[in-house]
Structure 1
Amino acid sequence: MTGAPPRGVARRSVLRGALAGGAALATGGLLGACGVRQDAPRIATDDRWRQFAGATINLISENTAPTAAIAANLRPFTDLTGINVNIVTLELSALVQKVALDLAGGESQYHVIYADPYQVLAPYSKGLVDLRELATQPGLPEFTGWDDFIPTQLDAAGRFGDRDKIFAVPYDCPTMIWQYRADLFDKYGARMADDLGFDPTPGLDRTWDEYLRIARWFNDNADEVAYGTGHQAKQHDSLMCDFSNVLWSYGGDYFDNGTEVGLYGTTDPGPCRLGSDQAIAAAEFYQRLLSIADPSSKTWDWNGLAPALSSGRIAMCVNWHEYAAANEKAMPGRFGYAPLPRGPVRSANHYGGCGIGINGNTQPNERMAAWLFVLWATSTQTQLANLKSEAGGGTPTRQSVYDLPEVRAAEHRPSAMPNILAAPAVVTAWQPENIGLRPKIPMWNECDTAVYTQLSKMLAGDSSPADTMRGAATKIDRITARGWAA
């Protein structure tokens, strides 16, 4: 979304930083011509990591924090394996097009694929390798780490349909949480509590209605900020992401069995449920919330919203957690992070993470070489290095990284790993009862467009919440009725 320069600073912006360690990076295609396909060489050696020394593998990725960090420091992988890596970075829509062509054409120009769950994994899982087969293949380094990945992330980013297969390893994990000016909450907390009649401290005890009241209080009483809240409500995927947190918290969803569809995916989700009373109530609340938010919210996606918070324009917002690094750079020590407020049913925190998988068209040796890269790129050691990287950042998808003493220490200021300051909030957000998962279906991209288009009409005053939700449901039913043939 799934979801963070990188996602830790700007969720989908261009990679920066020098590339080191033999990485070759292109923005549209690989360096050199493809030529006749030949399998990678394999060397007789007792070192399981170096049996494909001299091979070259190609990674295609969206511009994300882990890829930025890995591209800037590939030398450890090259030294370990002798394998060269080319990295192609693209915006997600362009990546999807190239991956679709590569898989459909029987090619393997890209060996390792950034597998967005909704635009790559769901429609093209049949073209990806079941990674469990490589994890148990004799002659390769032993892998026993499935249980180390955050369980909800492994399901949401790695599986589609068949729960026994894993097509991608969790690679990044942007998640929407409550980000706020802790210094202003400290300054005004007692006064807000007296005026509002409740403790305004952000967290799971707060409700969305209380969030709105806190935002309105800042509008009326605090000179330090222009508005209490801002939102990523541009006519864009960001609007669907922002609204979905409220939808799920109200007990609404896009389809029946929404959690199952979000975790495991399906090609036939059944009727859209956006016309339900719960979904309409969520839309009514969202309309009220946006009416008191910064008016520029309707022009912002996540990259527009983030600087509004970090520059001091708004007191709080809902955004991807990996913007913590940018917040801390702009105004060190002034921010706090918490799970999102509750609706009538629960707190729901939108997960936007993705995995990396392997092209099913790869030949035997290059497939194993690609697996070595996947192992290394998602290892505890590499995720820790990414967390510390100035070129990237990101946050880990393995529990073992969060358990390291130096990472636990970094959860408190002063922190050399500013994104980890959001760890307590996101660890709570990833719990099964709190995670928010959009539908993992092959046709989701079209459905997404239908949702944010209808919501934009509502926010412009051209449609009521009820008509908005029912209209979106009708459009989605037409999309899903066409089915999917990959």
Structure 2
Amino acid sequence: MTQRGVIDRRTMLRGAAALAAFSGLTAACGGRQDVARVATDDRWRQFAGATVNFVSENTAPTAAIAANLRPFTELTGIHVNIITLELTALVQKVALDLAGGESQYHVIYADPYQVLAPYSKGLVDLRELANDPRLPGIEGGFGDFIPTQLDAVGRFGGDAVYALPYDCPTIVWQYRADLFAKHHDRMADDLGFDPTPSGERTWEEYYRIARWFNDNTDDVAYGTGHQAKQHDSLMCDFSNVLWSYGGDYFGDGERVGLYGTVEPGPCRLGSDAAVEAAEFYQRLLAIADPSSRTWDWNGLAPALSSGRIAMCPNWHEYAAANEQAMPGKFAYAPMPRGPVRSANIFGGTGIAINGNTLPNERGAAWLFANWATSPATQLANLKSDAGGGTPTRTSVYELPEVKRAEHRPSAMPNILTAPAVRKAWEPANIGLRPKIPMWNECDTAIYTQLSRMLAGDVSPADAMRETATRFDRITERGWVS
């Protein structure tokens, strides 16, 4: 996960409307030559000798796959080039590839907000490949993917599936279990409630726990820390509070987050619930580690794992680093509740296939995308020393060895978060930012105003109302398609 950048989408979209026609034209004119198809009854080996280019952000599953491509090569005879880029650079290169009618990148790490929402017309509907009798289908079918994740990362505006769920980082409550156990009885007496973290604790109780650590123990410097840098991370951190208070970015936020839209309607950040959430967030950050305003997720994670803070909200896949730093001293829970619900922002991404691919290129790309998201590969990633990303498949979590790993000692430390993230992924608890083509600009607007609020330059109410005004200006400009 990286800061969401903005590119010249109009330039890209001048070519997007004719992607399919342009692809066929270049093939007919000999501009590109398709890979060969081998005569074989083995559906996994029919494109042996082909090369597939996969462009990805540098994520945990990609690192694990890159470190162990031999099983795929032995299965298919296909060579895979993996190109890892910072996300903004990835989006720029993919947009140019799509606009030019090219398929330099056959398989694409399709961020829902920077790739899927603006460029879905340039991607393949994977249902066509999954149902092609000449190609291997998805083991367990689309239904084996966690449903909220398939919708959030795979769909845009309809039933088509443009990407298979590939990674699933989700913000959960991470805390020093040893310190909560050490001080449990005293905290409970002082605070008047059981301080053990869970999805039933409220944000007000989280605030009081953090302040208790500030005032009553030298075990840590601060009770809580946050990823409150003027950056995408600040939007993520605040969104958990916003949704829990009943606020949202647009009306019908569940639909906009799951399926996406080009026309989200008026922004709702000026509502009483959004202002109340901002007021609480400002108050919470006032007692948090002061360095929170300089941290994104990568700054916050070592603050927890080094013993500087007692707890924080952060992406669940930092569990492996926590366990390496202080084995056995951490635990994980769903985010606290606000007046309406517990909300846990989901940051997952899928992998897609370039719509400019020629028929056999597309088949080879499908073999890789299918294999890379298969249960066996996700289990291997989970065990990998090079990666450690957590699965997007229900069947993997149901494996006996994975269930055993949810408890210490665990050879799969990220799975220690499984009880928390399973709860977080339930429809009532998952937090989904708006899946709209213009989200990058909206993202910048919200974290800029929040940063001004935390600096004391604007009030929470003014920050929310100004952001709502900016959102409306952005979305009213519409989207060229």
TM-score (norm 1): 0.92
Which one of the candidate residues 19, 28, 36 is aligned to 1:41?
A: 36
- What are the superposed Cα offsets for residues 42-99 of structure 1, whole Å, 9 maximum, x if unpaired? 0000111000000001000011001000000000000000000011101111111011
Which one of the candidate residues 128, 133, 154 is aligned to 1:133?
A: 128
Q: Residue 336 of structure 1 aligns to a residue in which SS?
A: strand
Which one of the candidate residues 414, 429, 434 is aligned to 2:424?
A: 429
C-alpha distance in 2 between matches for 1:420 and 1:83: 31
- What are the superposed Cα offsets for residues 120-158 of structure 1, whole Å, 9 maximum, x if unpaired? 000000000000000011211133421100000000000
Contact persistence 1:228–1:315 (CA under 8 A): yes
**Identical amino acids, percent of aligned pairs:** 81
Hey, what does 1:27 align to over in structure 2? Answer: none
Q: Residue 109 of structure 2 aligns to a residue in which SS?
A: strand
Q: Does 1:263 align with 2:249?
A: no
Q: Does 1:304 align with 2:299?
A: yes
Contact persistence 2:171–2:344 (CA under 8 A): yes
Relative to structure 1, the CA distance from residue 2 to residue 355 in structure 2 (aligned partners, 3 Å threshold; closer, same or farther) is farther
Q: Residue 201 of structure 2 aligns to a residue in which SS?
A: coil
Q: Does 1:243 align with 2:238?
A: yes
Equivalences for residues 338-349 of structure 1 within 5 A:
338-349=333-344
Hey, what does 1:156 align to over in structure 2? Answer: 152
Relative to structure 1, the CA distance from residue 174 to residue 2 in structure 2 (aligned partners, 3 Å threshold; closer, same or farther) is farther
* 1:420 CA drift (Å): 0.3
Counting helix residues as a fraction of each chain, which structure ranks higher? 2
Q: Does 1:283 align with 2:292?
A: no
Q: Does 1:208 align with 2:232?
A: no
Hey, what does 1:146 align to over in structure 2? Answer: 142
Gaps of 5+ in 1: 4-34
Hey, what does 1:456 align to over in structure 2? Answer: 451
* 1:323 CA drift (Å): 0.2
The ranges of structure 1 where at least 4 consecutive aligned residues each deviate by more than 3 angstroms after the TM superposition are none
Q: Does 1:227 align with 2:222?
A: yes
Number of corresponding residues: 454
Q: Residue 175 of structure 2 aligns to a residue in which SS?
A: strand
Contact persistence 2:2–2:86 (CA under 8 A): no
| Partner amino acid, structure 1, of 2:371 | W
| Partner amino acid, structure 2, of 1:146 | F
Which one of the candidate residues 310, 323, 340 is aligned to 1:315?
A: 310
Which one of the candidate residues 363, 386, 404 is aligned to 1:368?
A: 363
Hey, what does 2:468 align to over in structure 1? Answer: 473
* 1:204 CA drift (Å): 1.3
- What are the superposed Cα offsets for residues 311-345 of structure 1, whole Å, 9 maximum, x if unpaired? 00000000000000000000000001000000000
Hey, what does 1:101 align to over in structure 2? Answer: 96
Contact persistence 1:2–1:351 (CA under 8 A): no
* 1:410 CA drift (Å): 0.4
* 1:2 CA drift (Å): 8.6
- What are the superposed Cα offsets for residues 365-418 of structure 1, whole Å, 9 maximum, x if unpaired? 000100000110000000000000001111000011000000000000010000
Hey, what does 2:169 align to over in structure 1? Answer: 174
Hey, what does 1:20 align to over in structure 2? Answer: none
C-alpha distance in 1 between matches for 2:303 and 2:471: 33
C-alpha distance in 2 between matches for 1:363 and 1:142: 20
C-alpha distance in 1 between matches for 2:274 and 2:86: 31
Q: Does 1:74 align with 2:62?
A: no
Hey, what does 2:27 align to over in structure 1? Answer: none
Contact persistence 2:241–2:281 (CA under 8 A): yes
C-alpha distance in 1 between matches for 2:306 and 2:245: 31
Contact persistence 1:2–1:354 (CA under 8 A): no
* 1:37 CA drift (Å): 2.0
Hey, what does 1:89 align to over in structure 2? Answer: 84
| Partner amino acid, structure 1, of 2:157 | G
C-alpha distance in 2 between matches for 1:182 and 1:112: 41
